[in-house]
Structure 1
Amino acid sequence: MDNENPEPIMNNELVPMEDAETTVDTQDMEETPTLDSVMQLDVLDHPSQHNYHVEIVPQNSAEQPPTRRRKKKSVVWEHFTIETIGSGCRRACCKQCKQSFAYSTGNKVAGTSHLKRHIAKGTCPAVLRNQESKDQLTPYSAPTKMAPAFSSDPPKKRRYRTAGIPYVAFDADRCRHEITKMIIMHDYPLHIVEHPGFVAFTQSLQPRFDMVSFNTIQGDCVATYLKEKQSILKVIEGMPGRVCLTLDLWSSPNTTGYIFISGQFIDSDWKMHRKLLNVIMEPFPDSDTAFSHSVAACLSDWGIDGKLFSVVINQSLSDAAVDNLRALLSVKNPLVLDGQLLVGNCLARSLSRIVCDTLASVVGIVKKVRDSVKYVKTSESREERFLELKQQLQVPGSKALVIDDQTRWNTTYDMLLAALELKEVFSCLGTSDPDYRDAPTAEDWKQVETLCNFVKPLIETANLLLTVSNASPPTTNAFFHEAWKIQLELARAAISEDPFVSGLTKLMQENFDKYWKSVCFILAIAVVMDPRFKMKLVEFSFSKIYGEESTSYVKIVNDGIHELFLEYVALPLPLTPAYEEEANGGPGAVKPEDPQGGIASNELGLTDFDVYIMETTSQLAKSELDQYLEESLLPRVHEFDVVGWWKLNRIKYPTLSKMARDILSIPVSTVPASLVFDTVRKEMDGYKCTLRPETVEAVICHYWKIMSEISASFRLASGGVVGRPTSTKGCGNSSDLLGTGGGGLSTDGVCPRRRGETKGVLAF
C-alpha cells in the first residue's frame, strides 16, 4: 500500500528573481521545457533582504532528471503564442496574423530565428496592413521599453533588449524620390546609381528596393524640376510688373558655353524674388548672337515676351552683341526707352577686376606680406613666439593673422589688414629671429595702408550684395550712394601729388569710370524713387563729381525719368473682367460678320474710349511724378523699406508706383552672393558637359532652388548676412541664389552735349 501513494521527495531550491528591465536573451535550446516535466510553483517569502523563487522539483525516478521551469526570455514571445497540436507536436502562432510556424524547444532548425524574421522584416501581413492604412511614413519616436527591436541576423548569445523603431511600410516610389533629391542636393554624379558600392549599400538597407538605372534617374531629375518649375511659373504669371534678367556666362572644357539666366521681379504682394530660370547651352558662346538667342529662348519658355524690363550681363560684349540685345529689348518691350535698359557690366565682376588689377600692380609688396604671414602661421612654435612678442609690445591688434585664398580677393584684403595692425610685431620678429628674412620695410607698410584705404570702399560696396533684408535681394537704390562716393574719391586720388597714390588709383579710377558710365543713369533714377533722397541726392552728388557741368548731367536724369513715366502713362488700361469677356467673344458679344449685328462696332467703341481717357488724363498723370518730386523728403532712417513705402502709397501714386516697382527690381550683379568675391572665371565641370542640356538645366536649377531655401533659413537665423557656404563641385560651387541686386543703363559714354536725337538714348 505504501507504493500506491508515494510521498514526493521535495527539493527546495532558492533561485534569485530576475529584474524585468535587465533580462538578457539565452540560446533557444535553453528555453522552457515541456509542461509535463515540472510541477506547480509556489512563491515563498524569505526573511532576508533578497527575494527568491522556491521551486519544488519532483524526484520521481532516476530516469527523470530534476528540471526547472524558466520564463521564456526571447523577445519573439511578445508576438507569438505556443499551441499544442498533438502529442509531442507544438507550433508557434503569430498574435497578429494568426499564422503558425514550426517550433521545437532546443532545436536550432525550428527555434526562434524564423519567428524573428517574420516580425523584423515586415513580412507579417497584419503589420503591413496597419502601416499602409496610415498613408504616410511613421515618424520616428523616442525609444520605449515596450517596443523591442528585432534583427534579421542571428541573435547574439547574450544581448540586452533594445528599444524598437516603428515599422515603416516599404514605398519604392518614395525611395526613388529620395535618391533623386539626394543626387541633386549634394551634386552627386547621376551615374552613382550604377556604382557597385552604392548599390550594395542600398541593398543592405532595403533588399526589396530595385536600384534604378542611369536613364531612369535622369528622367526623374528632369521630372522633379518640371514639377518645381510649375510653382515658379504660377508666381511669374501673377506678376503685375516686369521682369529683369541677368546673364552669366560659364565656360566648359569642351569650349561650349552655358548661360545662366536669372529673373528678378516684385510680385503682387510687393515681395522681391530672384529665380534661376534657365541654364542654356551655347555651342558658340563668343558669337554676337549667343546672348540674344538665350534671352529669346528664356522669354519664350516662361511666356514673358512682353514683360522684359532690363538685362544685366557679367562681361563686356562686342558692339554687335550689344546691338543685338538692345534690339531684342526694343522689340519685346518697345515702350521702355527703346531697349536702352541694358547693362553690360556686372557690379561684382567689375569690382573683382578692379581689385585684381590693383593687387597685380603692387604684387611685390603683397607677396612680402603674404610670405611673412605664412612664415608665422605654418609653424606652431613661430606662431607662439609671435603672440608672445605681441603681448610684450602690447600691440592692440584685434584681428588674427590669416593666409589668403588668392581665388577670393576679400581674403587678400583681410590678410593685409590684419598684418598691418601687427606691423610692429613683424618688425620685432625680424630683429629677434635670424630665419625671418625679407620682412616688409616701413615704406612697404605705408603702401599697404594706402592700398587698404582705397580697397575698403570696394569691400563695403561688395558687402551690400551679401546683406539681405527679409530674405530679399537689395534694391537698386542702395548702390547709388556707394558708387558715387567711389567715383569721387578715385577721381581726386588720381590727381594726387603722391606718386604712389596717383599711380595706384589712376588705374582703379579708369576701370571704375567705365562701370560708372554704364550704370550711372539707372542708379540715379533708382535713387530718385527713394523718398528720402529723390532728385536732391542726384543734384548734390553730381555737383561733387562733375562740378560746373553737373547741370547737364542732372538734366539727363530728370528728362529720362519723365520720359519713362510718360511711357507708363501710355500703357493700355487693363480691361475689367466683363469687358474682357465681351472682347473675347463671350456671351452677349455681337460679331461683325453677323448679319443681324449690323456694322462692326469696333469692340463696342471701348478702344476709342481708352484713347480718349489717356489723352484727357495724360496731363493729370504727368503731375503725379511732379507732385512726388515736389513733396518734402522723408527723414532718413537706417533700415528703410523703400518697396514697402511704395506699397503703402500705391493708391496715391497708381502709375508712379508701377514704375518704381520695376526700377527698384533691376539687379546690378549677375552672380549669387557666394561668388561675389571670386576672381576666377566660372567653368562647368566636365561631367555635366556629358549630360543632355535639359538634364544639366534641371539639375542645376533645382539645386539652386534647394540651396536658396537653405540660405534663406540660414539668413533668418544669422541676422541677414550671407556667409560663404561649403562648396560642392559640379554646378558652380554655389549654394546661394539670393543676395544679388540692382543694375543700370548701358550707354555709349557720349558727353551730354553730344546726346543723340534717338528717343531714349541717354548717356553720360
Structure 2
Amino acid sequence: MLHEALKYKTALNRFARENFMDSPLDEDWAKAEALHGFLQEFNEATKAFSADRHPTAHFFLKMVLAIRLVLLDEAWNSNELLNAIANAMYTKFQKYWAQPNMVLLIAAVLDPSQKLDLIKFYFYTIGENVEVKMRELKQYMRRYYLEYEKIVRCQSLHVFIPPDEQDTSEDTFICSPSGSGQLCGKRRVEFAFEQFASQNSSAHPERSELDAYLEDPRVPKRADDSINVLAWWKKNADAYPTLSLMARDFLAIPVSTVSSESAFSAAGRILGKNRTSLSPETLEALVCAKDWLIGFNDEEEGEPMTGKRMFDSEDSDDE
C-alpha cells in the first residue's frame, strides 16, 4: 500500500485538492517514505519464507541475520517513529529467534554452499560461544545421521541380487586339483593380502559420509548467487546416500505456514458454495492436476522443482 501510494503521490494530492479533501502534509509523506524503506527489508524476507515451489529451510538463517541487521541499524535512531517500532520488533525477535531450532540449523548445513561456515558466522555474529554451539550441533547431526544410516542399511538388505551376480567367495580362493600351482599361489596371496588390509584398516577407520561432507570444500554458487540444492543432492546421491535421504526430509520443512495454508485455500476455491456436488475423488484430482501443471510450468521456465518431485523424477520416468 505504501509503495503504490508513494508512486502516485502527486496524483493523490491533486485528487484531494480537486475534491476539496484533506491531503497528507509533506511531513506525512516523509514519514510514509521512511516507513516504506524500513518495511521493504521485511517484505523481501516474507516473500522468501512464504515460497512454496522450492525449499526454504536452508536459507532461513541468512534472512534472520538480515532482519537482525535491519532492526539494529542506527539509522532509525533519528526517526522517533521508526526507532520505537524497531525496538519493539527487536524484543520479539530476541524472544523467538535468538535460539533457532536445531533442526533448521541442520537444514542450513545441508546446503552445500553453506555447510558449517554459515552456522559459525551466525553464532559469532550474535555473540554466542561458537565452539560450544558447534559441538552441540555436531552431536545432533550425528544422532540424526546414525538413525538415517539404519534406514539406508535396512533398505540395502532388501535389495535382490540375482544368483548369477552373487559373489561366491569360496570359489574365488579354493584351488582346483587340476589348476596350476602359479594360479593357486596367486589366489592365496590375494586372500592373505585382503585379510591383512582389513585388519590394518580397522586401526584407521574410514571417514563417514557426514565427516566427508563437512570436510569437503563448499560448493561455489553461480553468478546470480543461487544454487539448486535439490538438484545437487540428487546428483550426489550415490556419493552421499544417507545424507541425501536426510536432505530430502530436512529441506522439505517449510519455514512458513503460508505454503500449507495456500493448499487448503486452493481446495476451498474449487469446492465452494456454487460447486458442492463434486466427489472426493474428483476434488483430489483437480487439486493434484493444478499442482502438477504449475510444477511442470516452473520446470520449463528453469525454476527449481519441489522436494519430492525432484527426487522422484527419475523413478517416474522409469515407470
State the TM bucket, normalised to the shorter chain.
Answer: 0.5 to 0.7
Aligned-pair CA distance for 1:538: 1.3
Amino acid at match of 1:629: L
| CA distance, structure 1, for counterparts of residue 33 and residue 50 of structure 2 | 25
Distance in 2 (CA, whole Å) between partners of 1:494 and 1:463 is 24
Distance 1:490 1:624, change over 3 A: same
Identify unmatched segments of 5+ residues in structure 2: 162-200, 309-319
Q: 2:138 corresponds to which residue? A: 558
Pairwise CA distance, 1:519: 5.3
The one-letter code matched in structure 2 to 1:445 is: W
Cα distance between partner residues in 2 of 1:719 and 1:647: 17
2:5 aligned with 1:419: yes
Deviations 1:429-462 (A, max 9, x none): 389x353432222222222223222322332233
- Is the counterpart of residue 712 in structure 1 residue 295 in structure 2? yes
In the superposition, relative to structure 1, how do residues 705 and 510 fare at CA in structure 2: closer, same or farther (>3 Å)? Answer: farther
Identity of aligned residues (%): 28
Aligned residue runs from structure 1 range 138-287, under 5 A: none
Question: 2: distance between equivalents of 1:696 and 1:446?
Answer: 55
Deviation at 1:503? 1.8
Q: Deviations over 1:36-79 (max 9, x none)?
A: xxxxxxxxxxxxxxxxxxxxxxxxxxxxxxxxxxxxxxxxxxxx
Aligned positions, number: 261
> Which gives a bigger RCO, structure 1 or 2 (Cα 8 Å, sep 6+)?
2
Please point out which of 629, 633, 636 is paired with 2:221. 636
Contact 1:569-1:621 within 8 A present in 2 as well: no
Report the Cα distance in structure 2 between the residues aligned to 1:740 and 1:436, rounded to whole angstroms.
56
Does structure 2 retain, via aligned residues, the 8 Å contact 1:671–1:740?
no
The answer as to whether partners of 1:566 and 1:622 remain within 8 angstroms in 2 is no
Aligned partners of 2:57 and 2:252 also within 8 Å: yes
**Out of 636, 650, 653, which is 2:240 matched to?**
653
Name the structure 1 match of 2:61.
480
- 1:347-358 residue pairs with structure 2 within 5 A? none
Contact 2:50 2:256 in 1 (8 A): no
Equivalent residue number for residue 541 of structure 1: 122
CA separation of 1:449/1:718 partners in 2, compared to 1, >3 Å: closer, same or farther?
farther
Q: Who wins on radius of gyration, i.e. which is larger?
A: 1
1:562-577 alignment to 2 at 5 Å? 562-571=142-151, 572-573=153-154, 574-577=156-159
Summarize deviations over 1:578-635 as a string: whole Å, max 9, x none: 59xxxxxxxxxxxxxxxxxxxxxxxxxxxxxxxxxxxx99x95764322221222222
8 Å Cα contact 1:526-1:663 kept in structure 2:
yes
The whole-number CA distance in structure 2 between the counterparts of 1:513 and 1:493 is 18
In 1, Cα distance between the equivalents of 2:281 and 2:72? 46
1:627 match? 212
CA contact (8 A) 1:420 1:449 kept: yes
Q: Distance in 1 between matches of 2:20 and 2:306?
A: 43
Distance 1:739 1:534 in 2: 21
- 2:45 corresponds to: 461
Deviation for aligned residue 1:707:
1.6
Task: Give structure 1 stretches of 5+ with no counterpart.
Answer: 1-411, 580-615, 722-737, 742-764
TM-score by length of structure 2 reads: 0.63
Q: SS where residue 157 of structure 2 aligns?
A: coil
CA distance 1:578–1:419, shift in 2 (3 Å): closer
Structure 1 length-normalised TM: 0.29
Change (3 A) 1:709 1:644: closer
The runs of at least 4 aligned residues of structure 1 exceeding 6 Å deviation read 682-686, 688-691, 738-741
Q: 1:622 to 1:512 in 2, by over 3 A?
A: farther
Q: Is the 8 A contact 1:466 1:740 kept in 2?
A: no
Q: What is the CA deviation profile of residues 392-412 of structure 1, one whole-angstrom value per residue up to 9, with x for unaligned ones?
A: xxxxxxxxxxxxxxxxxxxx3
Residue 535 of structure 1 and its aligned partner are, at CA, apart by 0.8
Distance 1:510 1:701 in 2: 43
- Matched residue, 2:249: 662
* Structure number having the greater helix percentage: 2
Q: 1:700 to 1:551 in 2, by over 3 A?
A: farther
Between the aligned partners of 1:657 and 1:555, the Cα distance in structure 2 is 22
Question: What secondary structure does 1:636 align onto?
Answer: coil
**Letter matched to residue 148 of structure 2:** Y
CA positional deviation for 1:536: 0.6
Q: Is contact 1:477–1:523 with CA below 8 Å preserved after alignment?
A: yes
Deviation at 1:421, TM superposition (A): 3.8
Partner residue in 2 for 1:527: 108
Cα deviation, residue 425, structure 1: 5.7
Q: Quick check: which one's strand share is greater? A: 1
Task: Give the CA deviation at 1:505.
Answer: 2.5
Quick one: distance in 2 between partners of 1:492 and 1:625? 38
For residues 135 and 22 of structure 2, what CA distance do their matches in structure 1 show? 56
Asked whether the equivalents of residues 688 and 696 of structure 1 are also in contact (C-alpha less than 8 Å), the reply is no
